[in-house]
Structure 1
């Protein structure tokens, strides 16, 4: 068995980001920039007012002074003249600052009558003026390549005058569930059969990670059926299988795909749940073979598949983010495998995060997994731990899982 860290390093080291494509700005949220985003204009393009009031010269605006209002400058309709001695221009938020003006007199600090305005409080030079380029200037790099675009980023790109963005293509991921015993939800169960949950859980996880799942038909425990189903994954960026990853008589993934161009990098990882995990390639397409056990499949997908999808999407590669908290109940010493324990999250009286493992950790218990808020990580050979011990965990909601 190899360590989790080594397995992840080898997986990520064999993946490269997908190519670039151009999409409409309206379709770019959640996508990953393939090249830096540069401003195509200056924002604001000229000095503008940050408030409603009067544009004037600060030296003319002593309290009680009487200034002649010579025009108006609403947003989008600049005053065509300038501001001279003893003059003011009615201005509104976003309105262009007329030449000659160097201050904004707020409307609440003034009285206006008969085409004149009188300050009741003197304005400061430069106050309430947004200078040209305050936000950004043409040519500025606003967002780096490799950034997943948020709603805020889309707004920035629009303000920078980008109707189209160059992003990485969404990775296409084929999902192949194997096993004579599994059937689709809603189908009649044969004797000894179970409903297939892995493909559906993985498809949802893949979508949440910003990739496109392709769920292939279930392949029974037959070498030719597995090989034929895997062949339908042509054109995908990654193949994910579930089941058949171990060495039993019915664990046929490696045996079925070997004659069809499959090359093995490694299998068996020091992880619980999910020791039998395959990593290799099928005719040049990376292949990740997850265990058939439903909980093991999801846990291994969190640990290995999500980082792989991030790498393919053009994001920085590395383990999923972890947080720190306090153990909610005592645990026995760990063995040689890195353990991912399903747990709930709460806070103690001091506001600290408390991570409480479920009493039962059987890797077939999907209901427990669904109720879990975290995967608490225990390193190999970790000693027994009392409640209150610092622990590391993965928060599942942060991954959309």
Structure 2
């Protein structure tokens, strides 16, 4: 019997099948949630000049402790425009440009002024350059500010705009064709009293799961367990970048996805991995499309999509690091030793750390709905006890 493929090896092989999508240029306001296709350099410096960090008076530190003669005013967007000389000062406001000749700001609270003259009444700045935001203190023109593969969120979009950019070169969104299979499946809300029918939750749930990613999803609906029907939908789907099937990827008499894929000319790269839940995962190619066959049980479908499909979308969408990003956490309850497969337990946060939820069977949905995280356990791991450190993957979708 062929050994099951380890999870990390399977993900590496899956990602090796995928190429990044082509580039496109978007207005910066439309680039949220995309990955940069090229590195970004600053087109301007920030701050663009020496600016005051406080309300007060711009002085030459060498003239301490004053007094100073007031010769003008500098406000944000309205600089003084002249030079400050010996024992002279300019009334200045937060964010205003420092006048030429001045190098320090006396904060307003440390002064007394009659409008024409300013005297120091407090401790003063203590050293030259105090309360001044220096030119280029954040970044300078020409600086590299974001590498290719960076995920554009609100903060990075703000950075790019501040650096002088009004557009972004990103990767196009991969096109994903979604196919749910099974004679037993019914549309949501249909035949709820028929024990032979199961509501098709996986497809809509997967679409919701991927909503935070830049991907174009074409839902091909529920396809019957019939080779001809599968052949027709695969023919329509093969123009996509990614083809995702849910269910039917095993080798039973009614599991026809592999047969239909092979008949359509697909190459199956691997099938079955050392993972619980999610053992029957399948991956391959059909033309230029990467094919990922997810198991039909809800927990298995969700977990494999989280660990394989989301990184696949990220890789094709241009991510420098497609993930998934596991982080350390402390265990709050005991866990039994594992078998020959990695285990991914649906868990939640407790006062003492993380704990698994009840109902870990792959067909059970309630624990999946309540889960805040996945607890990753290695194959052949010994019993874990409270206080042990383990790896988790946080769930946000």
TM range (shorter): over 0.9
Query: Is 1:279 aligned with 2:280?
Result: no
**Structure 2 vs 1, CA of residues 244 and 41 (structure 1 numbering), >3 Å: closer, same or farther?**
same
Q: Deviations over 1:60-110 (max 9, x none)?
A: 231xx4422111111111112211122211111121111221221212111
Separation in 2, partners of 1:337, 1:29: 38
> Counterpart in 2 of 1:104?
105
Written as runs of structure 1 = structure 2, the 5 A alignment for 1:2-401 is 2-62=5-65, 65-121=66-122, 122-123=124-125, 124-189=127-192, 192-317=196-321, 319-348=323-352, 353=353, 355-396=354-395, 400-401=396-397
**Structure 2 vs 1, CA of residues 134 and 179 (structure 1 numbering), >3 Å: closer, same or farther?**
same
Contact 2:338/2:380 (8 A) holds in 1: yes
**Structure 2 vs 1, CA of residues 86 and 388 (structure 1 numbering), >3 Å: closer, same or farther?**
closer
**Structure 2 vs 1, CA of residues 146 and 68 (structure 1 numbering), >3 Å: closer, same or farther?**
same
Contact 1:55/1:101 (8 A) holds in 2: yes
Contact 2:82/2:100 (8 A) holds in 1: yes
Contact 1:48/1:129 (8 A) holds in 2: yes
**Further displaced range: 111-120 or 283-292:** 111-120
The Cα shift of 1:209 comes to: 3.1
The Cα shift of 1:288 comes to: 0.2
The Cα shift of 1:395 comes to: 2.2
**Further displaced range: 180-189 or 69-78:** 180-189
Separation in 1, partners of 2:314, 2:322: 9
Separation in 2, partners of 1:376, 1:388: 14
Contact 1:240/1:288 (8 A) holds in 2: yes
Separation in 1, partners of 2:280, 2:156: 41
Q: Deviations over 1:242-279 (max 9, x none)?
A: 01100111100111122222111111112111211111
Separation in 1, partners of 2:263, 2:12: 27
Structure 2 unaligned blocks of 5 or more: none
Separation in 1, partners of 2:101, 2:391: 61
**Further displaced range: 284-293 or 42-51:** 42-51
Please, what TM-score do these two structures have when normalized by structure 2? 0.93
Separation in 1, partners of 2:268, 2:238: 18
Contact 2:327/2:392 (8 A) holds in 1: yes
The Cα shift of 1:240 comes to: 0.6
- Provide the secondary structure at the position in 1 that maps to 2:223: coil
Contact 1:56/1:101 (8 A) holds in 2: yes
Separation in 1, partners of 2:321, 2:347: 26
**Structure 2 vs 1, CA of residues 383 and 43 (structure 1 numbering), >3 Å: closer, same or farther?**
closer
Q: How many residues align?
A: 391
**Further displaced range: 308-317 or 383-392:** 383-392
**Structure 2 vs 1, CA of residues 335 and 73 (structure 1 numbering), >3 Å: closer, same or farther?**
same
Separation in 2, partners of 1:331, 1:138: 54
Q: Deviations over 1:93-135 (max 9, x none)?
A: 1211112212212121111115222222444322112222112
Separation in 1, partners of 2:212, 2:255: 29
Contact 1:267/1:279 (8 A) holds in 2: yes
Please, what TM-score do these two structures have when normalized by structure 1? 0.92
Structure 1 unaligned blocks of 5 or more: none
